[in-house]
Structure 1
Amino acid sequence: MTQLDLRKKLSILADAAKYDASCASSGTAKRSSEGGRGIGSTEGMGICHAYTPDGRCVSLLKILLTNFCIYDCAYCINRASSNVVRARFNVDEVVQLTLNFYKRNYIEGLFLSSGIIRSGDYTMEQLVLVAKTLRLDHDFRGYIHLKLIPEADPKLVEEAGLYADRLSANIELPRDAALKRLAPQKDVGVIKKAMGQVRLGMEAARPGKRDRLKPPRFAPAGQSTQLIVGADGAPDTEIMDRSAALYGGYGLRRVYYSAFSPIPDSSSVLPLSRPPLLREHRLYQADWLMRFYGFSPREIGEGATDGMLDLAIDPKLAWALNRREQFPVNVNTADRERLLRVPGLGVKSVNRILSVRRWRTLRLEDIGRLCRGIDKVRPFITTLDWTPGGLTDAPDLRVRIAPDPKPVQLSLF
């Protein structure tokens, strides 16, 4: 294999992997090669992080083992009937690419997925062999994220969790019926079964207080999944309900959202145009509210029109404008849960407020120093020297806080 051939493969298979949003390198165990042992690290400085225009971190070597696939999912660029250039790495090529890129300080680890070749078992064996070779033969201590093949033997899923930091199996579509229609070879029940196995593996790997020996590590960075937005007609409220169920049922670390992007020679059952990328952004904001701010999907969706989140303002502000009777909030006496629901106050800002108010009574200027900006916060709080009066209930409050901007379509790639 010449270097030119390897570069061509890398170009094809890195480009083919860009549609999978569910990769990140957070939350894993800390490992380092300091002291001359092993290669790589999951922490520290010196890793080159690159970001796409819409904010996704691409600090991992993100590739497919191959874009050949025996499945014919209508929404996938690499489907069996797609007229794309095909390529395939062997295990040693992926291992050497990972090590060489890491030694050059280009990446912090590997995100490896694949099209289905021969069978689910064979494909999963190849993915696991890459991780196993890196860990055992090269003592690689960097980050590894493997994409699960849900149809594979449970023993292969178990082995994958022993060598990978994170595992993921994409649900893909919010509606089960849509997955059956657009990806007839996939079975949502099989996908959920694999995700359930990963959750059980992670729970078994948590040492108990009385355990003398730690159980073997298993996917210490957890598992994630991806939902495609705008391919099956599901509204935002339905997507949020699906995400909440996935978080609760499978202990997911993250649900990623990927705006549907039309592909060449696409099926007539797919939309002709992509949804606004701002919609994807609003879903991420809603996801954040569910995970860190105590909001339920029903609360976030209260102000939705036909199940769709407002694109002009963020979901938290939309909820507050719909629930004005709960404001203003006294920042000197309110509990943490109420403060987290104030537009403009994030988790860090609330923690600072709770810390500072133990020693002094807060004024409006104090809040301005403790959060990023005071304009959005002011109508929803009271301080020692400030009450919003009728501002909280002003009919034009939305326009004052967030005048409708001229819509701009963001670029995905």
Structure 2
Amino acid sequence: MSRRTLTDKLAILSDAAKYDASCASSGGERRDSSDGKGVGSSGGSGICHAYAPDGRCISLLKILMTNFCIYDCAYCVNRVSSKVERARFSVEEVVRLTMEFYRRNYIEGLFLSSGIIRSPDDTMADMVRIAKTLREVENFRGYIHLKTIPDASPELIDEAGKYADRLSINVELPTERALSDLAPEKSATGIRRAMGAVRLKREESREVTHTGKTRARFAPAGQSTQMIVGADGADDRAILGQSANLYANYKLSRVYYSAFSPIPDASRMLPLVKPPLMREHRLYQADWLLRFYGFEVDEVAGKGMLDLDLDPKTAWAIAHREAFPVDINRAPREALLRVPGFGVKTVDRIIDARKRGAVRYEHLVAMGAVLKKAKPFITLPGWAARGLEAADLRARFAPPPEQLSLF
């Protein structure tokens, strides 16, 4: 085999990284560059792509350090038994790529994952060296997200958190049984232990020492994880239940959902077809309801599977017509949050506006409410709800929306 160029490696390893959805830069802090030596900035960065106030697209360099792997996870295209084309970056090559891409204004940060080479500790040590070199040698102040290796030593995870803005550890699958069947080398207990250690380190870093000094920063943008959807038989209720547990116990910043995609030479344990992408989208919408709208798992996925034709908030509202219409000028915040077409910001604006007088229909337009969805579920001066029959509402909202919405 001929020696691969850096461009060849980049093509292979950036493509291999596309299967990892758990990359986001929201929550990163701008590192101090007052000394004039810092390079880069985490401000305005997003999940691979974001937009600055001037409309400029900002991106993360999202790559694997290598797609060689000693593990044989059935769902992974880079498993040891796979016949995919392989490549591996050196520490120096990743540093060089990151800095060159930044200086060309292509990126504002790095998302780095990797297959397991030699051992978890060897792999994690190289990833830490990359982050440390960027920070301490290149004075890079941009965003860094490292995908940590659960079986790596606690000392390496501790060091990773000193240089990375965010750490992520993938739970991979919704149930321990599925992980045991499809990824026998991985341990659900080990993954949770690593998540717990990151949570504790983050909490410690926010404490003040007995001398009044703040402690060294540790992964200030938090930790995230990813679950593959549709590779096993878990329903949406099980998936969201796992997410709720992770948010509660490990204070995760985000759980990402990635629809399973069939891979070459796949195990017979895996499905032959991928789940509809709409299922992945509905899970994100339901996740949003759990985190910001006060819903419980059984409320949005009590039947096991989410409705693919309706967003979960609208589906809940149609199934609970007794809770509507909501009086915009009297209802508590909790009730307003359950109105389809109302986001958190819209509800906060309504609450604030009610202090100054009655909120009218025309005011909701200026507040950003999606009235096409909200109208059947609200009452206020200038509008009285009608047509709350379930069949009529479903016919109105079930057709594919013009654009996907978190609300």
TM-score range with shorter-chain normalisation?
Answer: over 0.9
The Cα offsets for residues 217-267 of structure 1, whole Å up to 9 and x where unpaired, read as 000000000000000110001100000000011110000000000011111
The Cα offsets for residues 306-336 of structure 1, whole Å up to 9 and x where unpaired, read as x110011100001111111111111111121
SS for the counterpart of 1:124 is helix
The Cα offsets for residues 130-156 of structure 1, whole Å up to 9 and x where unpaired, read as 001111111111111111111111111
| Residues 1:40 and 2:40 are matched in the alignment | yes
Counterpart contact for 1:32–1:40, Cα < 8 Å: no
For 2:199 and 2:357, locate their aligned partners in 1 and report how far apart those are by CA, in whole Å. Answer: 45
SS for the counterpart of 2:5 is helix
CA apart distance, 1:407: 12
CA apart distance, 1:354: 1.4
- Which residue number in structure 2 is paired with residue 122 of structure 1? 122
Counterpart contact for 1:329–1:381, Cα < 8 Å: yes
- Which residue number in structure 2 is paired with residue 137 of structure 1? 137
For residues 310-329 of structure 1, what are the structure 2 equivalents within 5 Å? Answer: 310-329=307-326
- Which residue number in structure 2 is paired with residue 404 of structure 1? 399
CA apart distance, 1:59: 1.8
- Which residue number in structure 1 is paired with residue 370 of structure 2? 373
For 1:372 and 1:263, locate their aligned partners in 2 and report how far apart those are by CA, in whole Å. Answer: 42
CA apart distance, 1:173: 0.4
SS for the counterpart of 2:137 is helix
For 1:343 and 1:308, locate their aligned partners in 2 and report how far apart those are by CA, in whole Å. Answer: 20
For residues 181-330 of structure 1, what are the structure 2 equivalents within 5 Å? Answer: 181-208=181-208, 212-302=212-302, 304=303, 307-330=304-327
| 2:327 counterpart letter in structure 1 | N
Counterpart contact for 2:319–2:390, Cα < 8 Å: no
| Residues 1:11 and 2:6 are matched in the alignment | no
| Residues 1:148 and 2:139 are matched in the alignment | no
- Which residue number in structure 2 is paired with residue 104 of structure 1? 104
Aligned counterpart in structure 1 of residue 337 of structure 2, from 331, 340, 353: 340
For 1:325 and 1:42, locate their aligned partners in 2 and report how far apart those are by CA, in whole Å. Answer: 47
Counterpart contact for 1:31–1:43, Cα < 8 Å: no
Aligned counterpart in structure 1 of residue 361 of structure 2, from 356, 360, 364: 364
For 1:261 and 1:17, locate their aligned partners in 2 and report how far apart those are by CA, in whole Å. Answer: 14
For 2:112 and 2:35, locate their aligned partners in 1 and report how far apart those are by CA, in whole Å. Answer: 28
| 1:137 counterpart letter in structure 2 | V
For 1:298 and 1:337, locate their aligned partners in 2 and report how far apart those are by CA, in whole Å. Answer: 17
| 1:357 counterpart letter in structure 2 | R
| 2:375 counterpart letter in structure 1 | R
Counterpart contact for 1:41–1:143, Cα < 8 Å: yes
Runs of 5+ unmatched residues, structure 1: 52-56
CA apart distance, 1:385: 3.0
CA apart distance, 1:211: 5.8
Counterpart contact for 1:380–1:388, Cα < 8 Å: yes
SS for the counterpart of 2:18 is coil
Counterpart contact for 1:14–1:62, Cα < 8 Å: yes
CA apart distance, 1:116: 0.5
Counterpart contact for 1:148–1:167, Cα < 8 Å: yes
SS for the counterpart of 1:377 is helix
Report the CA distance shift for 1:44/1:262 in structure 2 as closer, same or farther (over 3 A): closer
Report the CA distance shift for 1:397/1:226 in structure 2 as closer, same or farther (over 3 A): same
The RMSD of aligned alpha carbons is 2.5
Runs of 5+ unmatched residues, structure 2: 52-56
TM-score of the pair, normalised by structure 2: 0.93
CA apart distance, 1:359: 1.6
For 2:291 and 2:246, locate their aligned partners in 1 and report how far apart those are by CA, in whole Å. Answer: 12
Counterpart contact for 2:69–2:116, Cα < 8 Å: yes
| 2:69 counterpart letter in structure 1 | C
Identity %: 60
For 2:401 and 2:336, locate their aligned partners in 1 and report how far apart those are by CA, in whole Å. Answer: 31
Report the CA distance shift for 1:203/1:320 in structure 2 as closer, same or farther (over 3 A): same
For 1:383 and 1:350, locate their aligned partners in 2 and report how far apart those are by CA, in whole Å. Answer: 14
- Which residue number in structure 2 is paired with residue 54 of structure 1? none
Aligned counterpart in structure 2 of residue 352 of structure 1, from 344, 349, 352: 349
Counterpart contact for 2:48–2:61, Cα < 8 Å: no
- Which residue number in structure 1 is paired with residue 385 of structure 2? 388
SS for the counterpart of 1:111 is strand
TM-score of the pair, normalised by structure 1: 0.91
| 2:388 counterpart letter in structure 1 | T
| 2:75 counterpart letter in structure 1 | Y
Instruction: Count matched residues.
Output: 398
- Which residue number in structure 1 is paired with residue 95 of structure 2? 95
SS for the counterpart of 1:17 is helix
For 1:27 and 1:126, locate their aligned partners in 2 and report how far apart those are by CA, in whole Å. Answer: 25
Counterpart contact for 2:333–2:347, Cα < 8 Å: yes
- Which residue number in structure 2 is paired with residue 86 of structure 1? 86
CA apart distance, 1:375: 2.1
SS for the counterpart of 1:110 is strand
SS for the counterpart of 1:66 is coil
SS for the counterpart of 2:372 is coil
| 1:392 counterpart letter in structure 2 | L
- Which residue number in structure 2 is paired with residue 158 of structure 1? 158
CA apart distance, 1:215: 0.4
